[in-house]
Chains A and B, each alone.
Chain A
């Protein structure tokens, strides 16, 4: 795709899209949205980048390998927080009862483990979207190679 307009517009809006995605992820515990919505926005931004420039440029920014590693990382962060609560002596995914500092409701740094978990989910969703995109695209390429 060699369209100058698309590339230019992409270049302009990409930071805003990503920033917005990050905002949604980080404010998951305060407002509607959260890990999934924000992660989807971030993932979409990366897909947009790869579409507007080309695949290799996209891969340079975030390769398939890294994205699938991040995918594992996000999920592990979630599970890790759950087990962390067990180590603190409460049930799985325990939050306030586990003694994780809650902070003042309404502040950015509040709700204890939820924020970290949301962040993990965001990473997971964003990287999953990218991985899905790469997988489908590469599968297509692969088939053309064979034919």
Chain B
């Protein structure tokens, strides 16, 4: 047995291992912290790419902890959706932390830098664990680690906004976790299993006996994961949390963390709960309407913001709506669009947050109205921001277009053109708040700090360029990622 067979678990464990090594390194070998972090995430990236190759060539497989077969042991299920999500997490996570190694220097005190890496690695590990795991309780544990770590990377910057935002986030996500645990208890009560596969087998049999328990558990899952994924109207914590955090944290929180909960929701809805249940209550319609409201209201709130990061945060609320729209429509194209949007939005939004961070780093201003002429003095972040903005609007040859195409196609497939119209209206709203910034940035005379920005370090520029080329690359050659996405959607809908 070679080590590659253990990549599923190593992708998580190596990150955890390095997370715990970090405090020790901090004490004795400070200069090793950054390479160790990059190395650990790089290893996970390699592992996830290898798993992706494995899954695409030989099909999904399972990994059993301690070789204990289910239902006793904990399983990792390496299927299309999981490898897709793992790859997204590791790629974006690596780029963001590479950027962060420089940006954090000015946002954080020096003695907490090592702790930041610890938290970041924990966050990455928990996200990867959450998408890989095939066990309800294991998922809960990862959800909790993720919640604490993500609060941690907000509150580590000791400004009062951060602390307050982190507290709000922590309390709300504790409520969410409570709901999750209760839901798991209900499922365990009626089925006696925690393993997704076994639960999925048992649920149809017990549905007649305990229909209410199962329904309540689904509702609790929806609320619990909805709070964490900031699905409207459970989004109240997000704008503060994502806008006050250090930029790399914002990027990873908006880009990845909220999506991971969406993936958990997808797994539960499509892999665990029987389709008959969806006939009992209009769960999917509820998700659709919540998503629609999220899309419209998130965009509307974004329009009135003057703080660049707050605007991006509200835009994330709208974008998570797209993902749930794809989940709720239950057609192959729409699900593809939703899943694809997880990846595309991860790239776009982290790029937007990082370029906003670079602008803040260089000029010290976060007010949109102060950013006149920034495109002339700070070309790279502004061009990256513009690319992200175009992708958000859904201009062709950016990746945002591709996911919108699939979502719109999916809504037409099921005969609900209304939701296609929602996507269009929200694209227009996106245009209304993103494009003036772009215009302002390129046409106008720079003044004040904008005229003489600090030079950007190489790491920040490189990260932005990487993400920017990703936006174009996956807009022009979407087939690079579409293979695994369509397989994931098909397997979730049982078409494979």
Contacts and interface: CB of A to CB of B under 8 A. Distances in A.
Interface of A: 65, 68-69, 71-72, 75-76, 79-80, 82-83, 85-86, 89-95, 97
Which of B6, B16, B27 counts the most chain A CB atoms within 10 A?
A: B6
B20 A90 contact: no
A92 B24 CA distance: 24
Given A65-B27, A69-B27, A92 B21 contact: no
A75, A80, A90, A93 — most chain B CB neighbours (10 Å):
A93
Interface in B1-35: 1, 3, 6, 9-10, 13, 16-17, 20-24, 27
A83 B24 CA distance: 19
Contacts of A68: 23
B448 interface: no
A92 B23 contact: no
A92 B16 contact: no
B21 A90 contact: no
Given A68-B23, A69-B23, A94 B3 contact: no
A77 B165 CA distance: 35
Given A65-B27, A82-B9, 20 more contacts: A69-B23, A69-B24, A69-B27, A71-B20, A71-B23, A72-B21, A72-B22, A72-B23, A75-B20, A76-B20, A79-B16, A83-B10, A86-B6, A86-B9, A89-B1, A90-B1, A91-B66, A92-B63, A92-B66, A93-B66
A95 B13 CA distance: 17
A65 B23 CA distance: 10
A91 B23 contact: no
Q: Which of A79, A89, A91 has the most CB of B within 10 A?
A: A91
A76 B21 contact: yes
Contacts of A83: 10, 13, 17
Interface in B97-150: none
Contact of B6 (A65, A72, A76, A91): A91
A79 B121 CA distance: 15
A90 B66 CA distance: 7
B27 A94 contact: no
B183 to A, nearest CB: 24
A115 to B, nearest CB: 15
Nearest to A86: B6
B20 A91 contact: no
A76 B64 CA distance: 21
Given A72-B20, A79-B20, A86 B3 contact: yes
Interface string B435-465: 0000000000000000000000000000000
Nearest to B25: A72
B473 interface: no
Contacts of B21: 72, 76
Interface residues of B, number: 19
Given A79-B13, A82-B13, A86-B6, A94 B66 contact: yes
B67 interface: yes
Contacts of B13: 79, 82-83, 92
Contact of B67 (A71, A80, A94): A94
Contacts of A91: 6, 9, 63-67
B134 to A, nearest CB: 14
Contacts of B67: 90-91, 94, 97
A72 B24 contact: yes
Nearest to B64: A91
Contact of B66 (A79, A80, A85): A85
Chain A to chain B: the 8 pairs with minimum beta-carbon distance, closest first: A93-B66, A92-B9, A75-B20, A72-B20, A91-B67, A97-B67, A79-B17, A94-B67
B27 A92 contact: no
B20 to A, nearest CB: 4
A86 B3 CA distance: 8
Nearest to A131: B23
Residue from B22, B63, B65 with most neighbouring chain A CB atoms (10 Å):
B65
A95 B24 CA distance: 28
Given A79-B13, A79-B16, A82-B13, A93 B23 contact: no
A113 to B, nearest CB: 9
Nearest to B17: A79
Nearest to B115: A68
Nearest to B22: A72
Nearest to A88: B1
Contacts of A95: 66
Contact of B65 (A75, A76, A80, A93): A93
A68 to B, nearest CB: 6
Nearest to A68: B23
B1 A92 contact: no
12 contacts: A75-B16, A79-B16, A79-B17, A85-B66, A90-B67, A91-B6, A91-B63, A92-B13, A92-B63, A93-B66, A97-B66, A97-B67
A76 B23 contact: no
A87 B432 CA distance: 57
B298 to A, nearest CB: 36
B66 A76 contact: no
B367 to A, nearest CB: 30
A94 B1 CA distance: 13
A37 to B, nearest CB: 18
Contacts of A71: 20, 23
A142 B23 CA distance: 21
A87 B3 CA distance: 8
A100 B350 CA distance: 45
A144 B423 CA distance: 53
Nearest to B1: A89
A98 to B, nearest CB: 8
A35 B67 CA distance: 22
A58 B67 CA distance: 43
Nearest to A74: B20
A92 B65 contact: yes
